Structure formats: C-alpha cells, structure tokens
C-alpha cells in the first residue's frame, strides 16, 4: 500500500492505459460468486481501473452531468425569483408555515445517515465486504448535508437575515431566538457536516497520494493532488496513525449521527401540535433516516457501476449484503410506523384521531403509495434473486426513497393545514417554485457527486488492496471459505 512503491512499479509506464483497454480487460475477467475482491487482479491494473473515473470521461457521464446542470439551473432561477418577489410565490400561508422546504430538509438529513452509520459500523466490525462502498457512503453524507443545509436558508425567505439563525452570543440583546428549531438545526448540521468532512478526507488521504503518483506529467490534477495529499509517503507510522484516527472518528460519528436526526425530530416533537407531540419521533426519525440512507447507498452504487463501468469493483456480493441490511431496517421502520398509528387508534384522542381521518380523506392516494410501496419493498427484498439484481435493486431503492419522501411530507404539511380552529383549515399543495427547488436539490446532490468523481478517487483503492493482502477465498467443495494470509514485513 506504499505510494512510493506504486510509483516505482509503473515508472516505465506512468500514464494510464486507455479506457477501452481497461474495460476490455475487465470483460475478460471471471468474477467468482461470493468473492468481494478479485484476488487475481494485478495491482497495477487495479490502480488504473479504480482511478479511471478521474481521468476518463464516458458519454453517459456527459449526458448525466448536462441534464443535472439544467435542473440545478432551473432551481436556482426559481430561488432567485422567490427572493425578488417574496414568499408569496409559494403556497406557504397561514396556518401552513412549514411545507415542502422543511420536508425536503428532513429527507436529506436522513439520507446523510448513510455514510456515517453504514461506513462507521462496517469499519468498526471489520466487515470484509465493506471496502468498495465506503467512499461512496462517506461522500454521500457530505453532499446530502450540503443540500440539506440549503433549505433552512431557502425557507426563511429573506436570505439577508440568515444571521438570526446562528447561535451567536446575545450582543444583539434578545434578537436571537434560541428556542427556534431552526437554530437547533443549524448547530446540529454544522457539527455533523464538519465531522463528516474530516472523516471523508482522512479516508481519502492514501488514495489521493496514489492518484498523485499515478497522475501523468502535465495533468492539471497533479498540483492540487500534491497539496491535498499532505506529503503522504505510506510509511508504517503513517498507516498506524491513519488506522487509529479512522477508528476514533468512526466511533465519534457513530455517536453523533443519531443525535443529529433526533434534534431534527425535536423540531416537531417539542411543539404541542397534535400529531407531532409524541415521544416516538426520536427513534422513529433515526430508523427512517438509516432506512432511506442505506437505500440511497445502493442506488448510488448501481449508478456508479453504470456510469463509470465499475462492475469489477462494486460486485454482486456488495449489493446483496447491503440489500440484506436494507430488509432488516425496512421491517424495523414498519414496526415504528404502525406503533405510531396503533397508539393514536387505541387512545382515540378526538383531535389526533381526526388528523388520521383527515389524512385518509385528503391524502389517501399518497398513503396508499407509501404503505403499498413498503409492503412491495419487503416482499421483493425477501427473494435472493432480487437482492442479487442491480436493476431490481435500483427500482426497489428508488421506490423506498419516494416512500420516505412522501412520509416526511405527510408529517409536515397536512398536520398544519388541519389544526384546532376550523375556520383556518386549508389545503396545501406546493407551488411550481417549490417543486422546482426540490427537484434541483436532487439534481444538485448527484451533480456534486459527479464533480467529486472527476477531482478525487471515488473508490477506496487502499482498502481494497489491504483486503487482497490480508485475506483470500479458498474453495472447499461448493463453498468458499475466507482465510487470512500471513504478511511478510518488508
């Protein structure tokens, strides 16, 4: 895993092979069912194949980024239009002051739990199949938090008053409202985003150094890769420090991630609004966040396989194991959802029960999509053929996040539109401006990831090579058994 050794191994052939030759070599290779790493893969070819997305651009990538850029541009135009003409261009009006913006914010904070919890758990448990998916999950956390952090700014309308949300001391006397949930969210997201960025950067260090050494002379990436690598040489001391820091950060983030979404749930649970004032919201939101996050990781892995031709790195075994984890979380989320419903049904509180009746009267189509989708997801994931099919998994995970977005939306807007006073009842439906900004958030997330893939390694090459060194699969009858190999000191 030494970067200096890597550069010596290919000193006669510093430049990358062509993308076509890499893909042709990948097509010839035989993928053994059940193996998470191809142990016969030459290290030089592994380096080039893993880092190829940085240096080669496919037609699918161009089409993908152009389409995403157009959607993001339309969302930015809608936001500028909202700033100029005010919040009247949305459908937010009394008594509905929280709508699609807050629902989208909660959704993206939930998706961010993919990288922290999944990556931290897999690192701490030393799961052998974790290596190819770590970078994707960690980057997903950072980008989804960036997208989520935009929505409190969009929601306040007057962007020039954003400093009221910062938890500053009381130099402004009583102007800061520390009882505001938006102030809580600002603190939670700031801490979570900072720690996630550090976690991502630490994991990137060995691969940045590898890309620096493999980068052809004269390539524009050479300069910033040299700066970001922080002089990494791959010594034993550096690797020891790297392993310790990664472990400590994984523990810290594993503790902080659930607290962040618990704070987001307090935006609702700490109020006295019927339908929100419940103690189950904390764990319910956390489980829902992990559910949508793991589904998002699988969706992203399938997209990376297609856009960057990473079939040889992101293999069926990785998707299959993630799908098993997703099935367990789906059952847990279903349990929490029906706990919330059964509690309201058994107590027969007139106000809360009237809210459920209103949801079934006005939003029955969304509830049917959400609940029917949940049943369909659990049924499909119960079959091993579905868990091993990238196409079917893509469909299932996209359906999960559609269901989870509907669930977030149903928590926010309908409850506010049908409160105690009948003369204030109204029906909320997001305006084209709100829909455009929400769509731009989704496109912006994928666009950030597409840009990231061209600037930094999206595959954890160092971890994959570590897996090749310390372990292997031997065939005994029809079963593959994992064995550990002895590593000679250099």
Length of the chain counted residue by residue? 490
Could you tell me which residues come within 8 angstroms of residue 75 by beta carbon, excluding any fewer than 6 positions away?
A: 436, 437, 439, 440, 441, 443, 444
Q: Mean of the pLDDT values across residues 227-256?
A: 86
Query: Hey, what are 97's tokens?
Result: 């002051």
* CA–CA distances in Å: residue 142 to residues 59, 137, 147, 194, 198: 27, 9, 9, 9, 10
Distance CA 22, CA 461 (A): 16
Distance CA 391, CA 389 (A): 6
CA 433 from chain center: how many Å? 25
Q: Which domains does the chain have, with CATH numbers?
A: 3-484 (1.20.1630.10)
Distance CA 195, CA 181 (A): 21
Task: Give this prediction's pTM.
Answer: 0.82
Residue 4 reports pLDDT greater than 70 = no
Residue 69 has a pLDDT of 95
> pLDDT by residue (tens digit) across 8-36?
333 333 444 444 454 444 444 433 334 44
CA 444 from chain center: how many Å? 13
* Letter string b/e over residues 293-313, b meaning 16 or more CB atoms within 10 A of that residue's CB: bbbbbbbbbbbbbbbbbbbbb
> pLDDT by residue (tens digit) across 376-396?
999 999 998 899 889 999 999
Residue 164 reports pLDDT greater than 80 = no
Lowest average pLDDT, out of 107-116, 148-157, 463-472, goes to: 463-472
Residue 33 has a pLDDT of 37
More confident residue, 149 or 486: 149
Could you tell me which residues come within 8 angstroms of residue 311 by beta carbon, excluding any fewer than 6 positions away?
A: 26, 31, 305
Q: How does the average pLDDT of the chain come out, rounded?
A: 79
Distance CA 457, CA 232 (A): 15
Distance CA 83, CA 93 (A): 16
CA 69-74-77 angle, 5° bins: 125
């Amino acid at each position: 895993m030494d970067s200096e050794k890597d550069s010596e191994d290919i000193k006669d052939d510093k430049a990358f092979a062509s993308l076509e030759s890499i893909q042709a070599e990948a097509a010839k290779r035989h993928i053994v069912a059940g193996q998470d790493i191809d142990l016969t893969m030459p290290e030089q070819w592994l380096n080039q194949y893993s880092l190829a997305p940085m240096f080669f651009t496919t037609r699918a990538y161009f089409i993908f980024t152009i389409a995403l850029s157009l959607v993001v541009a339309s969302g930015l135009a809608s936001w500028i239009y909202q700033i100029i003409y005010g919040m009247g261009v949305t459908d937010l009006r009394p008594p509905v002051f929280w709508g699609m913006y807050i629902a989208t914010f909660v959704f993206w904070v939930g998706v961010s739990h993919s990288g922290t919890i999944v990556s931290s758990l897999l690192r701490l448990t030393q799961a052998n199949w974790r290596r190819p998916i770590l970078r994707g999950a960690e980057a997903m956390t950072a980008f989804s938090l960036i997208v989520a952090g935009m929505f409190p700014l969009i929601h306040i309308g007057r962007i020039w008053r954003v400093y009221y949300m910062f938890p500053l001391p009381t130099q402004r006397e009583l102007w800061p409202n520390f009882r505001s949930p938006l102030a809580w969210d600002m603190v939670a997201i700031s801490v979570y985003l900072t720690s996630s960025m550090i976690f991502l950067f630490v994991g990137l260090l060995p691969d940045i150094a590898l890309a620096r050494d493999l980068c052809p002379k004269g390539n524009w990436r050479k300069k910033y890769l040299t700066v970001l690598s922080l002089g990494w040489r791959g010594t034993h001391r550096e690797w020891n420090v790297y392993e310790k820091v990664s472990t400590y950060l994984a523990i810290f983030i594993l503790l902080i991630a659930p607290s962040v979404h618990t704070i987001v749930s307090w935006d609702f649970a700490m109020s006295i609004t019927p339908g929100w004032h419940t103690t189950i919201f904390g764990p319910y939101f956390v489980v829902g966040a992990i559910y949508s996050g793991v589904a998002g990781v699988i969706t992203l892995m399938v997209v990376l396989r297609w856009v960057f031709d990473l079939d040889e790195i992101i293999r069926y075994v990785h998707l299959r194991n993630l799908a098993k984890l997703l099935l367990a979380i789906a059952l847990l989320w279903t349990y929490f959802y029906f706990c919330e419903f059964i509690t309201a049904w058994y107590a027969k509180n007139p106000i809360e029960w009237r809210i459920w009746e209103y949801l079934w009267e006005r939003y029955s189509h969304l509830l049917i999509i959400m609940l029917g989708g949940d049943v369909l997801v659990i049924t499909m994931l119960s079959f091993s053929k579905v868990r091993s099919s990238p196409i079917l998994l893509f469909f299932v995970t996209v359906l999960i996040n559609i269901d989870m977005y509907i669930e977030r939306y149903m928590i926010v807007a309908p409850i506010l539109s049908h409160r105690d006073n009948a003369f204030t009842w109204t029906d909320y439906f997001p305006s084209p401006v709100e829909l455009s900004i929400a769509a731009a958030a989704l496109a912006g997330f994928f666009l950030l990831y597409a840009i990231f893939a061209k600037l930094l390694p999206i595959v954890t090459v160092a971890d994959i090579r570590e897996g090749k060194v310390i372990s292997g699969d031997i065939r005994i009858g029809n079963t593959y058994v994992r064995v550990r190999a002895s590593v000679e000191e250099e």
